[in-house]
Structure 1
Amino acid sequence: MPPRPIDLAVVGAGLAGGLIALAMRRRRPDLRTVLIERDARLGGNHVWSFFASDIAPADQALVEPLIVARWDGYGVRFPDFARRLGTPYRSVTGSRLDAVLREHMPAADILTGVAVRAVEPFRVALADGSFVEAGAVIDARGAGSLPAMAGGWQKFLGQMVRLVHPHGLTEPLVMDATVSQHDGFRFIYALPFTPDTIFLEDTYYSDDSTLDAPLLRNRIADYAAAQGWTIAAIEYEETGVLPVIAKGDLDRYLAATAGDCAPATARAGTRAPLLHPLTSYSFPDAVRFASYVSTLDNISGTSLGRTSHAWVAHHWRAGAFYRMLTRMLFGAARPDDRWRVLQRFYTLRQPLIERFYAGRSTGADKLRILAGRPPVPLAAACASLAGQGRPLADLGRPNGPAQ
């Protein structure tokens, strides 16, 4: 019997592509979805975390099998302020995403170790000269840079470490900014997975994308030592350099990043770019878009491309307020004072903070965030909004000339 025709081919099995494939398999088993990944493992070597309030009730069942750790709240620490918030917090790992996808999808529909040469609305050209034909294609490969956009960078190095003795944390520290400030706003992110295993990430909101891995490893070791923790082993490590978007031209970006992706092809994930402009946080948007795709009546290459581009354009318009805040963070605040902006933000009401991270701030939320004395000089804030503040990084050229 010849193989069943492919209804949807998803290129890239990271968070965005993996969630689309999982949503289609669970909700649209009548359609054949094939996942194409360059690496041997799906999901990569990542930890993704999210607030329970980020996920709509209708999408809980999609996300639930992926969760490897859950907590009833989290803490933040700043030089002048500390707080515990009661928003439930969850974590997902790349290895768990790999396992769940393989559990739900037929082995023949997962193509790993496959290099892609070009992506079109109805087919994927592979590096070996062959093609994968499909009724529709979504390009969910990550974007290394964002041409036609400016802002800053969120860069990090994280390590899953096993300690000699229990660490004593019962909930995550989502932001510990009591550490010395270097290279912009710096904080430590700590996830206590077991009593003696903790994920420690050294994170920076920086003006450039250079990541000095040996330096950050030393700083993580110093942080652990300062907490009284002795590291017995480093179980794995991950790094990342993510764009923080202050302004840009979406149409120019989409045209500039077409490359081996035909302009009419549907996109997902950071290639779209579907992420929070200020936090670089992509989990809620990845879930929302995957869920939406699985509800479409017409999944064909041309229709899906139009639908994808309309979704991306709507997301871009909805992000205007967050891009304005990014301009203020990078254009008005001195790098070593950026922590003050986040410290003030975390004094606000918990529901407002939840809506902010989910990218669903109300009009009243926006007024409250901007109300009162700003944590940056007023003149600098006005200058940044007028395009005359501190130079912003060119996100299309890491470490290139600022604009």
Structure 2
Amino acid sequence: MQPDKIDIAIIGGGLAGGLIAFAIHRAAPQLSLGLFEAGESYGGNHRWSWFEQDLGPAGTAFLEPFEKKEWAGGNEVRFPAHSRRLSSNYRSLDSRDFDAGLRRQLPQSAILTGCRAQGIDAQGVTLSSGERIAARAIIDCRDACPSEHLVGGWQVFLGQHLRTAAPHGVDRPVIMDATVEQPGAYRFVYLLPLSATEIFVEDTYYADSPNLDAELLRSRIAAYAQARGWQSETLHEETGVLPVITGGDFDAYRFSLSRTGVTLAGAKGGFVHPLTSYTMPIAVENALAIAEAARGDLSNLPAFVEARAQEHWRRTAFYRLLGKMLFEAAEPAERYRVFQRFYRLPEPLIDRFYAVRSTTLDKIRILSGKPPVPLGRAIKVLLGKGSPLVQGPRP
């Protein structure tokens, strides 16, 4: 039995929606809220990771109630021309632990899984069952979907949690192992050592197409494990297809999804890192800001978050430019050279890049010197004369 009226209805219980619900409850516990999720658990089937310094003290304290994996000792990257160990420590949150954390922290009345929204408006949400729940404020955090108004490419991945018969020997996260074959896309393997005999292995592609061939990716992970002498069994698997946004008409995109009086947030609202798809720092920052705003007049939430979305689009323009260079100036099998060059730069610059805090000097440094792509094509991209890739399957 659902409540028939609440203060805030949050539609979509992924990372953004879940964190917003938790932040609002923590900041304004007097407000009644519902976190509506079509599935039976929050967070779907995902793993979110971030670097320790991405969040700052407030964000780190905010995530303290969630059980997560933490590594000291830095991280690694591996490319054909060089490998590098960096000092930044790493964090990762599994969606199953995210779900468990939300169920511990939110009031029981707010836990509304298995509740698919059939329609939403400024006055409430109508569920697929036909039930109507009135709300003073609606926040739409449902999954992003392809749009004719945005352009770019795709990040396609399949990850497996493996248990090895003997210690696997990986003692720190490997953010990118790009020493693997580059089959018409920028491919790398991502490694998270979960214990001495358990490891998360993800095969990732920056590809022109959103097509995901699960069997092919499974076979490549198996070959990667075999080459390292790992005899293993698969404990869990996840897949994903994420847009890598390189441009578009953001106003038209937001307008196409907008409903008067409804707050549009999360990845659907454009709150992503357009190149890396690292969402945790952005989701935490946004959740804390929305929670603070919810302490005031709830009718102001749509305009408040709209302004934040527009500012986020402006401050991530540089990362979209780099995405254009990756997808338009580099041949698919040579895209790894863009990241190979990037990972020769000073470590503080790399840290700020992932946290969406690149300075003007950082941007100059990234673009200066000999480009890792053909010069003529790089110049065309920098001048905005490239041919962007439409989000969606190519004809």
TM-score in same-fold range (> 0.5): yes
* Alpha-carbon shift at residue 3 of structure 1 (Å): 6.5
* Alpha-carbon shift at residue 281 of structure 1 (Å): 1.8
CA distance in 2 between counterparts of 1:301 and 1:123 reads: 13
**Structure 1 contact 136–300 (Cα < 8 Å) conserved:** no
1:15 and 2:15 equivalent?
yes
**Scaled by the length of structure 1, what TM-score is found?**
0.94
CA RMSD of aligned residues (A): 1.6
**Structure 1 contact 331–384 (Cα < 8 Å) conserved:** yes
**Structure 1 contact 157–213 (Cα < 8 Å) conserved:** yes
- Match 2:362 to one of 344, 360, 365: 365
1:273 and 2:274 equivalent?
no
**Structure 1 contact 14–43 (Cα < 8 Å) conserved:** yes
- Residue in structure 1 matched with residue 138 of structure 2 by the alignment: 137
- Residue in structure 2 matched with residue 32 of structure 1 by the alignment: 32
- Match 1:344 to one of 338, 341, 354: 341
Distance of aligned partners of 1:374 and 1:67 in 2 relative to their CA distance in 1, 3 Å threshold: farther
Structure 1: 5+ residue stretches without partners: none
Quick check: 211-220 or 132-141, which moved more?
132-141
The count of aligned residue pairs is 393
- Residue in structure 2 matched with residue 393 of structure 1 by the alignment: 389
Classify the secondary structure of the residue corresponding to 1:43. coil
**Structure 2 contact 3–133 (Cα < 8 Å) conserved:** no
- Residue in structure 1 matched with residue 60 of structure 2 by the alignment: 60
**Scaled by the length of structure 2, what TM-score is found?**
0.96
* Alpha-carbon shift at residue 244 of structure 1 (Å): 0.6
Structure 2: 5+ residue stretches without partners: none
Q: Deviations over 1:267-290 (max 9, x none)?
A: 111110100111122111100000
- Residue in structure 1 matched with residue 99 of structure 2 by the alignment: 98
**Structure 1 contact 266–301 (Cα < 8 Å) conserved:** no
1:32 is aligned with what amino acid?
Answer: S
Classify the secondary structure of the residue corresponding to 2:310. helix
**Structure 1 contact 146–243 (Cα < 8 Å) conserved:** no
Classify the secondary structure of the residue corresponding to 1:65. coil
2:322 is aligned with what amino acid?
Answer: L
Classify the secondary structure of the residue corresponding to 2:65. helix
- Residue in structure 2 matched with residue 250 of structure 1 by the alignment: 250
- Residue in structure 1 matched with residue 192 of structure 2 by the alignment: 191
1:136 is aligned with what amino acid?
Answer: A
Classify the secondary structure of the residue corresponding to 1:192. strand
* Alpha-carbon shift at residue 384 of structure 1 (Å): 2.0
Distance of aligned partners of 1:393 and 1:263 in 2 relative to their CA distance in 1, 3 Å threshold: farther
- Residue in structure 2 matched with residue 224 of structure 1 by the alignment: 225
CA distance in 2 between counterparts of 1:28 and 1:287 reads: 17
**Structure 2 contact 28–295 (Cα < 8 Å) conserved:** no
1:63 is aligned with what amino acid?
Answer: L
2:393 is aligned with what amino acid?
Answer: N
- Residue in structure 1 matched with residue 317 of structure 2 by the alignment: 320
Q: Deviations over 1:351-383 (max 9, x none)?
A: 110100011101111111111111111111011
**Structure 2 contact 247–388 (Cα < 8 Å) conserved:** no
CA distance in 1 between counterparts of 2:122 and 2:129 reads: 19
